[in-house]
Amino acid sequence: MMHVAKLIDTTLCIGCKACEVACQQWNDQEYTLGTFDGSYQTMPDLAPNFWNLIKFNEYERDGKLSWLMAKYQCMHCVAPGCLKACPAPGAIVTLANGTVDFAQENCIGCGYCITGCPFDVPRLSNTTKKVYKCSLCSDRTAVGLEPACIKTCPTNCLTFGERDALLHGAEARAQELRADGHAEAGVYNPAGVGGTHVFYVLANAARPEDYGLPKDPSVPWTVRLWKGPVKWLGTMVLVGGILGTFFHYVRYGPKEAHDVEGD
Amino acid sequence: MSKGTERRIARFSVTERTIHWMAAICFLYAALTGLALWSHKLYWLAWVLGGGSTVRGLHPWGGTFFALVLGFMFRQWASQMGLDSEDKAWLRHAYRYATNEEEGLPEVARFNGGQKMLFWLQSGSTLVLLASGLVLWWPELMPRTLLLAAVLIHPLAAIASIGGIILHIYMGTAAVPGAFRGMIHGWVSPGWAASHHPKWYRAK
């Protein structure tokens, strides 16, 4: 099956937040009034019932303030850190179309995915004790529909399609921007997580931090060590310990006590 | 005394045994639920123990109780677990103990060097498991750096701890007949005491 992807062309985002509304509406999520902290941003951070947030990153250049608006959501990594860290089989799945979905019925609420995710996306609900994030509208893509946010985007900042073709389009757009004077324009599709199924066109790809995106994200090394060599070590100790003591017994037998004189 | 009931030598008091077995039960629960969450191949343990969410919910409590009981165990035994020069000599020749060629090994008092090492291993690893476990208990509230350290440190300490306990269970049951009775009923035979803990036996 072909892999799908979402392209976010940040240069076309007008901050209308229609995608936030569409996400809440399609996924049937109640909006709980957030904190007002003097920003145009809907709320400070993602929440278990809020999976798609337009970040109004304030950015100052040559004494002028501008917004670098960036959609903040699950990146649907090719090699997801959340999946690597998850202990519950079937709670995090990679679908045939390449997207990453959380199956809450199998989730045990340990929150290891939070540690595994280099983008800080999964959110643990205090009421259900399950984690939630953008599913890329798996219930829509399964029947050939585009995700709700893309359906609603009025500026074509968001596009959905076959991953390779979309990546191609993103590169072409970045080239266009470079020709237009944005020398640092480029595509954000970080290799550290094997690439993503959500990628960005950034006017300044050299500084993704300005958009609230991590520079060179990858699955944390402690998570890789934990799920790699430490796991082998543990298996060795467990299996080696059980077999080792058994065969020690076979070879050397029990330590018999001798009798005491006079007793 | 060779006829009739065998002379009994008190090995462990009721308090010592109660604390030991409370620790054992908590350890077993924490270890089995921990192993269930550690590998997909051992996730069947989660089903046996009430399902994944139950295991995730109760593993931290099992661990906390274990740490609490181990605190009592520490208070009860720490003063007897200091390694003296004879223990160190004993440990240097532990392979001779392991291969049942014990001639020339320093005489052992109430606890041998291996038992003392186990005590300190469990005390240390429990402290580490408790600290890292508290971090993993509330991932949504913890700083990321602490979480990243805890996911690595928690299993490492658990591996050390479980490895030590596998040896401990083997030594306390199959390898040294009579030891288990000492921890269950509280007494051992004179021969057992004289063979395995001669210095302690003579002091009795």
Q: DSSP letter string over B57-89? A: HHHHHHHHHHHHHHHHHHHHHGGG----HHHHH
Count the neighbouring beta carbons within 10 Å of the beta carbon of residue A127.
7
Does any domain span residue A80? yes
SS3 A158: strand
Domains and CATH numbers, chain B: 9-80+111-203 (1.20.950.20)
- B window 159-198, beta carbon within 8 A of A: 159, 162-163, 166-167, 170, 174-178, 189-192, 194-196
Does any domain span residue A103? yes
Chain segment A21-76, per-residue pLDDT in tens: 999 999 999 877 777 888 889 989 999 999 999 999 988 888 898 889 999 999 99
Instruction: Please state the rounded mean pLDDT for residues A236-258.
Output: 96
Count of A-B CB contacts under 8 Å: 135
Q: Is B163's CB within 8 Å of A114's CB? A: no
Instruction: Please state the rounded mean pLDDT for residues B79-106.
Output: 94
Q: Read off the pLDDT band of B37 (50, 70, 90).
A: very high
Percent pLDDT > 70 in chain B is 98
What mean pLDDT is reported for chain B?
95
| ipTM reported for the complex, 2 dp | 0.93
A250 at interface of B, judged by CB pairs closer than 8 A: no
Q: Is B194's CB within 8 Å of A257's CB? A: yes
Residues of B known to be catalytic:
168
**Closest C-alpha to A150, from A2, A1, A12:** A12
Does any domain span residue A85? yes
Tell me how far the alpha carbon of residue A203 is from its chain's centroid: 22
CB of B151 within 8 A of CB of B129?
no
Whole-angstrom CA distances from B85 to A125, B90, B105 are 55, 9, 12
Instruction: Please state the rounded mean pLDDT for residues A74-91.
Output: 98
Instruction: Please state the rounded mean pLDDT for residues B38-57.
Output: 97
Does any domain span residue A186? yes
Does any domain span residue A30? yes
Does any domain span residue A248? no
B149 at interface of A, judged by CB pairs closer than 8 A: yes
Q: Which residues contact A172 (CB under 8 A, 6 or more apart)?
A: none
pLDDT surpasses 50 at B178: yes
Which range marks the domain in which residue A60 is found? Answer: 4-218
d(CA B29, CA B49): 9
Name the minimum distance, in Å, from the CA of B87 to any CA of chain A: 19
Domain count, chain A: 1
The CATH code of the domain that includes A78 is 3.30.70.20
Does any domain span residue A229? no
Structure tokens at A10: 């940040």
Q: Read off the pLDDT band of A159 (50, 70, 90).
A: very high
Does any domain span residue A250? no
- A window 63-92, beta carbon within 8 A of B: 85, 87-89
